[in-house]
Amino acid sequence: MEAKLTYSGDVQALAVERSSVDGIDFVAVEGEIDIATSPRLIPVLNQAVSDGAGPLIVDLSRVGFMDSTGLGLLINAKRRVDRRGNGFAVVCPPGPLYRVFEVTDMVGILGVSTDREGAIAAVARPRARFT
């Protein structure tokens, strides 16, 4: 199952691609996540959470910028995945975007890993849960 949405306009394009590998749902994002582009990410995340019978990993490896809107979307998705009893993780390489997760103390809570292998391992371990 794959879905790809692209948004172009006055803001940087946002591409979102969903795939499933070995029972893990992946949402790969490319571009900038902010108040202007988040409407392109919301339906894909919602569908992944609704359909999900297993863990969800959001890959931000190709995201150059994310504001608090994006962080809120990830926290909300994590809460919903937790309610289903599934694992959740985020892929974010070291750099300015990773710093957002550090400053907000969300690295552990959201299961942020610097690569896909780490994220896959993170969804296999019990994590802090939102209730």
75-114 pLDDT tens trace: 999 999 999 999 999 999 999 999 999 999 999 999 999 9
Domain that holds residue 112: 3-124
Can you give the CATH number for the domain in which 91 is found?
Answer: 3.30.750.24
pTM score: 0.87
Residue 119 placed within a domain:
yes
pLDDT at 126 > cutoff 80: no
With CA atoms as reference, report the closest residue to 54 among 129, 131, 124.
Answer: 124
Residue 63 placed within a domain:
yes
Residue 130 placed within a domain:
no
Are 11 and 34 in contact by the 8 Å Cβ rule? The answer is yes
* Model confidence pLDDT, tens digit, residues 23-43: 999 999 999 999 999 999 999
The total domain count for the chain is: 1
Residue 79 placed within a domain:
yes
